[in-house]
Amino acid sequence: MTIKNVCVFASSCNYLDDIYYKEASEFGTLLSLAGYNMVYGGSSLGVMWACAEQVKANGGNIIGVMPEKLHNMGVYTDECVDLTVTKGMRERKAKMDEMSDAVVALAGGFGTLEELTEMIVQKQLGYNNKPIVLLNTNGFYNKLNDFFEEIITQNFARSESRNLYYIAQTPENAVNYLKNYVPKQLAVSKADIYSRN
């Protein structure tokens, strides 16, 4: 599987602890040096911009996808090699999915969570077989992973669901996972999805 464009979901907030911007910047640097471009929300704010700025600074392309409502607020950047403006958030997610070969979730709020879980479900049902990575800066995703485990433990999802995503503890770990990703055969038959483990 060839990965060229990596979709990055992340917060657009400028008022977080410094560690989140620092690791996003480091990840962006490593992403670019590994030869990847970044598809993201197109914003000039927050964790997403900390990452995108370093992708750009180190020779990679940044590709933005932003809903019209946010674009009209003027929070986009002119640094994108391409900026697509969509009607709404649903169209935005579909476009980001279409343009990317991998997904990485940095620290983020409800929007990041919604984007991430949609991609996990898309993979679960066999609509894609992309690597999906959660960068666990400052233990941010520990409780979400606990919740994922609860979903599996109580049989709301099969144990194989753990193979749908990868939790990286460092930016280096995340990029190395992308470099070495080998798609696994996805089980998407009725029995695979709906039967008990």
- CATH at 113: 3.40.50.450
Question: Dihedral sign, CA of 117, 103, 40, 89?
Answer: negative
Residue 36 CA: distances (Å) to CA of 12, 17, 29, 44, 128: 21, 27, 10, 20, 19
Using H for helix, E for strand and C for coil, what is the string for 31-73? Answer: HHHCCCEEEECCECCHHHHHHHHHHHHCCCCEEEEEEHHHHCC
First-to-last C-alpha distance (Å) of the chain: 28
Q: What is the dihedral of CA 67, 57, 182, 130, to 10 degrees?
A: 0
Strand partners, 40: 64
Question: Into how many domains does the chain fold?
Answer: 1
3-class state of residue 82 by DSSP? strand
Average pLDDT over residues 95-114: 97
Examine residue 155 and state whether it is found in any structural domain, yes or no.
no
* Domain around 61: 5-140+165-185
- Digit-coded pLDDT (tens) for 148-176: 999 999 999 999 999 999 999 999 999 99
Examine residue 146 and state whether it is found in any structural domain, yes or no.
no
Examine residue 12 and state whether it is found in any structural domain, yes or no.
yes
Confidence of residue 76 (pLDDT cuts 50, 70, 90): confident
- Digit-coded pLDDT (tens) for 16-63: 999 999 999 999 999 999 999 999 999 999 999 999 999 999 999 999
Examine residue 153 and state whether it is found in any structural domain, yes or no.
no
- Is a pLDDT exceeding 90 seen at residue 184? no
Confidence of residue 1 (pLDDT cuts 50, 70, 90): confident
Under a CB-based contact definition with an 8 Å cutoff, are residues 58 and 29 in contact?
yes
CA distance 42 to 65: 5
Return the number of other C-beta atoms located less than 10 Å from residue 119's C-beta: 25
Q: Is 134 exposed, middle or buried (0-12, 13-18, 19+ CB in 10 A)?
A: buried
Mean pLDDT, the chain, integer: 94
Examine residue 145 and state whether it is found in any structural domain, yes or no.
no
What values do phi and psi take at 14, rounded to 5?
A: -100, 10
Classify 84 in phi/psi space as left (phi over 0), alpha (psi -120 to 50) or beta.
beta
